[in-house]
Amino acid sequence: MTSIAIITARGGSKRIPHKNIKDFCGKPIIAYSIEAALESGLFDEVMVSTDSMEIADIAKRYGADVPFLRSESASNDYATTNDVLHEVLSEYEARGIKFDVMFCIYPTAPFVTPGKLKTALDSLERTTADSLLPVVSFSFPPQRGMIIRDDRIVYQFPEFKLSRSQDLEPVYHDCGQFYVCKVEAFRKFKSIVTDNTIPLVLPESEVQDIDTESDWQIAEMKYRLMKQREG
C-alpha cells in the first residue's frame, strides 16, 4: 500500500497574516505538520501544496517535498480542499505515481502527532470505511443553544430546554487537523467525507481552531500543556 501526506498551505491569509509560517512556540507552525508526517514513517511522500515560494522554501527546510506550485484555480478564495487534493493527485498521476491512501494534513495543526497519524491509519485499515475524520465533542450541548430574535433570547430547540446535559446525545465537530481517505473512494465520491466515514475522537484539550490572535495564544497554551503531559 502506498500513501501520501498532503499538507495544504495557501499563501494568502486575511485574518492572521502569514498564518501558515507564523512562529508557534519557537518554529513555523507548518513545521509541526511536516515533522509529524515524516516521523510517523507512514508515507511514501510528504508534500506541501502551496502557491507561495516563501512557504515552499520553509517546507523544504523542514524536509517536505514541493514538486510543483499550486495552480491559480486551486489557490483562489473559492477553491476547496477537495479541489487542492484532486490537483495534487492528478499531478502525481501525470508523473506515473499513484497512491492508495492519502492524508490531508492542515499546516496549522500543531496538535497532530506521529502517534495520532498511526492510530488513524490503523483504525481505517481495520474497517471497510472509505475515510476517517478526527472529531471532538462540543463542550456545551448545541441542543440547548440559544438564538436572538427581536432582541430577545430564545431557545433554538425549545424541546430540549429542560433536558439535562448528560441526557443529550453528544454532538461532534471536525477537529480541523487532518483527514485520511482511500484514494479510490475520493475519486469516486469527489469528497473526503462520505457516508462511510469513521471517527477518531480527540480530547478538547488537544483541539483548537486558530482563526484569531486570541485563538493562537490559546493554542500555544494547550500545546505546552500537551507536551508537559507527554513528559
pLDDT (tens digit per residue) in 107-134: 999 999 999 999 999 999 999 999 999 9
Burial of 96 (0-12, 13-18, 19+ CB in 10 A): exposed
Residue 174 DSSP class: E
Confidence at 104, pLDDT banded by 50, 70, 90:
very high
Q: What is the pLDDT of residue 5?
A: 98
Structural domain for 168, as ranges: 3-230
Q: What percent of the chain has pLDDT over 90?
A: 92
Decide: 172 and 199 in contact? Cβ < 8 Å.
yes
Q: What percent of the chain has pLDDT over 70?
A: 100
Decide: 62 and 31 in contact? Cβ < 8 Å.
yes
pTM of structure: 0.94
Decide: 153 and 75 in contact? Cβ < 8 Å.
no
φ, ψ at 48 (rounded to 5°): -115, 130
Cα-to-chain-centroid distance, residue 168: 27
pLDDT (tens digit per residue) in 143-158: 999 999 999 999 999 9
Q: What is the pLDDT of residue 72?
A: 87
Cβ-Cβ contacts under 8 Å for 40 (sequence gap 6 or more): 114, 117, 118
Name the residue with cell 477537529.
175
Decide: 51 and 37 in contact? Cβ < 8 Å.
no
Name the residue with cell 448528560.
166
How many separate domains does the chain show?
1
pLDDT (tens digit per residue) in 147-200: 999 999 999 999 999 999 999 999 999 999 999 999 999 999 999 999 999 999
Query: CATH number of the domain that 133 lies in?
Result: 3.90.550.10
Distance of alpha carbon 131 from alpha carbon 199, whole angstroms: 9
